[in-house]
Amino acid sequence: MKHFYIIFVMSLFFVFFCISIFNQSTKISDSYKLPNFKTENITDLFPKNIDEINNLTKLALEEAQNSLKFIYDIKDQEYNFKNIMLLFDRTTANFSYKFSTLYVLTMVHPDQEMREAAQKSVMELQKFSIDQFSQNQKLYQILKNYNESRVASSEKIADFEEYFIKETLDSYKKAGLEKDDQTRELIKSITQELGVLALDFDKNINSDNRFIKVSKEELKGVDDEFVESLKKDQDFYILGVDYPTVFKIFEECEIESTRKALWYEFNLRGYPANKEVLNKIIVLRDRLAKFLGFDSYAHMDIADQMAKTPTNVINFLNDISDKCKLKVSQEIEALKKDLPISIDLVENKFKPWDFKFVVNYYNKKYMMLDENLISQYFPTDYTLKALLDIYEQFFGLKFERSNVQNLWSEDVQVLKVYKDNKFIGTLLLDLWPRDNKYPHACQVGIVSSVRDKNYDIISPAVVLVIANFTKPQKDKPALLRRKEVTTFFHECGHAIHSLLGSTELANQSGTSVKGDFVEMPSQMLEEWMTDKEVLKSISKHYITGEKLPDNIIESIQKNQNALIASHLLGQVAYSLISLNLFDKGESKNIDLIWREAHDLLSEVTYGCSDYGYCSFGHLTNYGSKYYGYLWSKIYAKDLFNKIKEHGLFNREIGELYAQKILAKGGSQDPNELLKDFLSRETSSEAFFKDCGL
């Protein structure tokens, strides 16, 4: 459930082939303009052929060069916030949305040539961005000089503007702009290489379309509708590694060899290419951190986060895993009391491909939680609309379906979004799996929402939610499984943050917050899925029209924490992997780090996959900060408890939350935002209490 944003702190040593496109007639006022896409013409944002991709790339480069030239030409005596910092903000924002647009095409476009052309452009823009923005010494010097003259002249600026200057200069310092020329060249070169490797790593996962073929008998236990929806090769059924297929087989297929074969393939995504890519990333990140004066890449990555140091993160993770230890044994023992006939244990532990099958069996038999049955109450069209209705009520929003066509796939749904009857942005939903599509779920803020001083939107947000939900099957509409609904709540949480996080500076908009805070709004909205009134309002049986019955809702609530310790330990394990891979030292035994972290789960399953790290996509984008999910979860639970006291449909508390947290984006320290909303310091009490730990 990744959230994507562009990080400008990248660098390169790259002689950009400047095609001398500076046009003297361009006016400086053009450089301050931001994109203003209305829903009706949202297709204009996305290139429709390779020429348009190339034109957009060229435009991004031209505009950025023009704007940078304006910044360079400003005389010292004319330095002020608007001339320097605001122009810098607009310049990066205009570049950034074009980059995001092209990046989106690499993730979702069904046509290979389009994806490849977009990938080429993304690489070109990334190189430019490193060279001309994040590692640009001349630019940094101007920003720094401006700040010194500002302090000397006592220019009056707002707090958020001062925060922006501080954060920007800090990130430049962190990126090595205070180092000597020789060191900076090395840093540039490494960062450039890292940028390319990250794109490779992601591409190797996204484009891995492996599958297995099985006979009808080998699908025993799986319902006919699902089987009939599978692609076939003569008499064999094709099982891909997309999420709906994988989870369906893991949970329901009674034939162990099928579960095992698919589990192996699923965990081989990105292998072998990504093993080598990851090794290179580890070496270069470590080298980069050393040049920048940090003990390790993890230290560098966490230094400007809420957690501040890897030690703080490790203490935090240890605290959680200590509290989980007793509970995890109880959870696993409960499962072992009555095993399905076909299941045998190894050294009294579950084989990893059996675990979900056993949980599903147990939930059905003892918890009244039959996920197939429950999904019948969540027909996609109804549930998505009802879920958006909740957001409408809670946040004062309105989502209006638009008939815009001609995006990259017919699957894409387009929604026009209003707040208090004013248009604020466009939400795009691309929810079903396709070949070569980004395989996970994520939100991409393509165009950042920017407002003026009077709170009027001057650049409406364009937001995309990507997911891979269960498709409609023969004679059945698309039905969402419970965890898919939760995923939708999660990604919409990011989307709402992007839509309501309108700030005066594009660089502070919406989800441009600390990496260990960004998963707070998304995980908080997941909590809505535990509320009776919410479950009633988003459910409607696809045949009978009935709401989810009370007894099932009670089971959901009772069972909410049934496997919480196992789940949290899994999150701790992944957090440790992302920390330890980027701990001090160039040479790492990736396999050992992977296996040692999985030892935390030794009560749960016997062994782990061999090369699962090759498809651990967060390693590029989140770096050492996978712990951010757990870190943000503490705040999510704390805030949720306060909101729940007022009611999950309560417009007033919704507005307060929107104003005090979401609308601030990254314009303030998140600790201050939390304190302001809670009227007290944050506390982990709600988290541990709710988890029963």
Interface with Zn ion by CB under 5 A: which residues?
A: 1, 3, 519, 522
Which CB, 3 or 419, lies closer to Zn ion? 3
Indicate the residue among 240 and 666 with the shorter CB distance to Zn ion. 666
Least separation, in Å, of the C-beta of 443 and Zn ion?
A: 7
Q: Where are the beta strands (DSSP E) in 146-288?
A: 211-214, 232-233, 236-240
Whichever of 328 and 465 has its CB closer to Zn ion, that residue is 465
3-state secondary structure of 418: strand
Query: Where does residue 641 rank: exposed (0-12), middle (13-18), buried (19+ CB within 10 A)?
Result: middle
Supply the minimum distance, in Å, between the C-beta of residue 620 and Zn ion: 15
Nearer residue to Zn ion within complex by CB, 4 or 14: 4
- State the minimum distance, in angstroms, from the CB of residue 3 to Zn ion: 5
CB of 518 to Zn ion, least distance (A): 7
Query: Looking at beta carbons, which residue is closest to Zn ion?
Result: 1
**In the complex, what is the shortest distance from the CB of residue 684 to Zn ion, in angstroms, rounded to a whole number?**
20
Name the residue nearer to Zn ion (CB basis): 3 or 188.
3
Residue closer to Zn ion (CB basis): 507 or 522: 522
Minimum CB distance to Zn ion, residue 394 (Å): 19
DSSP 496-510: HHHHH--BSSGGGST
Shorter beta-carbon distance to Zn ion: residue 1 or 190: 1
Going by the DSSP 8-state scheme, the letter that residue 83 receives in this structure is I
Whether residue 321 contacts residue 315, with contact meaning beta carbons closer than 8 Å, is answered with: no
**Minimum distance between the CB of residue 538 and Zn ion, rounded to whole angstroms?**
20
Tokens of 365: 């038999």
402: which strand partners? Answer: 414
Closer residue to Zn ion, CB minimum distance, 1 or 553:
1
CB of 45 to Zn ion, least distance (A): 23
As measured in angstroms, the least distance from the Cβ of 173 to Zn ion is 29
How far are the Cα atoms of 341, 532, 615, 632, 678 from residue 648, in angstroms, in the given order?
Answer: 43, 10, 36, 20, 16
Output 184 or 440, the one with its CB closest to Zn ion.
440
Burial of residue 220 (number of CB atoms within 10 Å: 0-12, 13-18, 19+): middle
Residue 588 structure tokens = 């790492």
CB nearer to Zn ion: give 143 or 520: 520
Cβ closest to Zn ion, residue 63 vs residue 519: 519
What is the widest separation between alpha-carbon atoms in the chain? Answer: 82
What is the nearest approach in angstroms of Zn ion to the Cβ of residue 618?
A: 10
SS3 content of the chain, % helix, strand, coil (to 5): 60, 10, 35
Measured from the CB atom, the residue of 258 and 498 that comes closer to Zn ion is: 498
Peptide bond into 47 cis (omega under 30): no
Contact present, 214 and 258 (Cβ < 8 Å): yes
Residue closer to Zn ion by CB (options 3, 285) is 3
Burial class (CB in 10 A: 0-12, 13-18, 19+), 434: middle
**Looking at residue 476, what DSSP letter applies?**
B
Q: Which is nearer to Zn ion, 1 or 118 (CB)?
A: 1
**Which 3 state secondary structure label does DSSP give 4?**
strand
* Total Cβ atoms within 10 A of residue 652: 10
State whether the Cα torsion 183-188-193-198 is positive or negative: positive
Task: Determine the Cα–Cα distance for residues 534 and 627; give it in Å rounded to an integer.
Answer: 29
Q: How far is the CB of 428 from Zn ion (least distance, A)?
A: 17
Nearest distance in Å: CB 469, Zn ion: 16
Q: How far is the CB of 446 from Zn ion (least distance, A)?
A: 16
Rg (CA), the chain: 25
Shortest Å distance, C-beta 658 to Zn ion: 18
Count of C-beta atoms within a 10 Å radius of residue 403: 6
Per-residue tokens: 441:
């779920």
What distances in angstroms separate CA 412 from CA 111, 242, 419, 433, 656, one per listed residue?
Answer: 15, 18, 22, 11, 32
The letter for the amino acid at 115 is R
Nearer to Zn ion, 3 or 184 (CB): 3
Rank residues 306 and 369 by Cβ distance to Zn ion and give the closer one: 306
**Cα 112 to Cα 106: distance, rounded to the nearest angstrom:** 9
> Shortest Cβ distance from residue 522 to Zn ion (Å)?
4
448 within 8 A of 97, measured Cβ to Cβ? yes
56 vs 568 by CB, closer to Zn ion: 568
Per the listing, tokens 């006919």 go with 224
Q: Pairing mode, if any, of strands 442-447 and 461-466?
A: antiparallel
CB of 439 to Zn ion, least distance (A): 15
The H-or-E segment that residue 593 falls in is helix 590-598
Instruction: Give the nearest distance from C-beta 59 to Zn ion in angstroms.
Output: 31
CA dihedral sign of residues 30, 34, 40, 44: positive
**Contacts by residues 554-563 (CB-CB < 8 Å, ≥ 24 positions apart):** 555/367, 555/368, 555/369, 556/369, 556/482, 556/530, 557/530, 557/532, 558/367, 559/363, 559/367, 559/369, 560/530, 561/690, 561/691, 561/692, 562/331, 562/363, 562/367, 563/331, 563/359
